Amino acid sequence: MEAVYAFCVGLLTACGIFLTLRARTFSVVIGITLLSYAVNLFLFSSGRLKLESAAVLNESGVYTDPLPQALVLTAIVIGFAMTAFVVILAMRGRADLGNDHVDGRIPAKESAMQRHRGYKS
């Protein structure tokens, strides 16, 4: 179980980092979202992975650390708000700057290539 879990977190992080390094705001936003999923899973596992145990003290005495779950909840709420904000900001950037490049302008080489392929900017 641990290996699969770790692999998933690693894969999400790798995809997130790859996408945040892209030049268009859309992929950056998706990358940040993937990174925040990865970090939520990672935080959850910091209390160790346990099966069939409640997050509160119960009669059977089998329980898991409740704190990481509280932390993940906080992180999800904050992450949600931040993602909403960055989506709006990216749309505002598209409107204000006329393109969706993270630097606000398309580099000369890329825009020449787009013209060649027949894209309209």
Partner 1 sequence: MISHLPILPVFLPLLAGVFLLLPPIQNSIQRQRLFALALCGAIVVVAVLLLLKSQVSGTMVYVLGDWQPPFGIVLVADRLATLMVLLTAVLAFGALLYACAGDDLGGRFFHPLFMFQLMGINGAFLTGDIFNLFVFFEVLLIASYGLLIHGGGKHKTRAGLHYVTLNLIGSTLFLFALGMLYGTTGTLNIADMAVKVTRLDEAERALAKAGGMLLLVVFGLKAAMLPLHFWLPRTYSAAVAPVAALFAVMTKVGVYSILRIHTVIFGAGAGELANIAMPWLWPLALLTIVIGAIGALASPGLRALTANLVIVSVGTLLIAVALQSPEATAAAMYYMVHTTLISGALFLLADLIWEQRGKAEDRFVMARRMRQPVAVGIAFFIAAMAVVGLPPLSGFVGKLMLLQSTVEWPQAGWVWPLILLSGLAALIALSRAGTSLFWRCHGDPLPGEPIAGIKLTAVYLLLAASPLLVVFGGPVVDYSQAAADQLHDRSQSVYSLLPEDYQP
Angle between helices 67-97 and 25-45 (to 10 degrees): 180
| Residue whose token pair is 């935080």 | 43
Q: Is 75 a residue that touches partner 1 (CB under 8 A)?
A: yes
Structure-block tokens of residue 112: 């020449």
Q: Which of 53, 58, 66, 74 binds partner 1 (CB under 8 A)?
A: 74
Dist CA 71 CA 121 (whole Å): 44
Residues 31-60 touching partner 1, rule: CB under 8 A, are: 32, 35-36, 38-39, 42-43, 45-48
Q: Is 71 a residue that touches partner 1 (CB under 8 A)?
A: yes
Q: Is 106 a residue that touches partner 1 (CB under 8 A)?
A: no
What amino acid occupies position 37?
Answer: Y
Asked if 7 and 38 touch (Cβ cutoff 8 Å), the reply is no
Dist CA 69 CA 33 (whole Å): 19
Task: Name the residue nearer to partner 1 (CB basis): 2 or 117.
Answer: 2
Q: Which of 53, 92, 107, 114 binds partner 1 (CB under 8 A)?
A: 92
Structure-block tokens of residue 17: 């980092």
Contacting residues toward partner 1, per CB under 8 A: 16, 20, 25, 28, 32, 35-36, 38-39, 42-43, 45-48, 67-68, 71, 74-75, 78, 81-82, 85-86, 89-90, 92-93, 96-97, 102-104
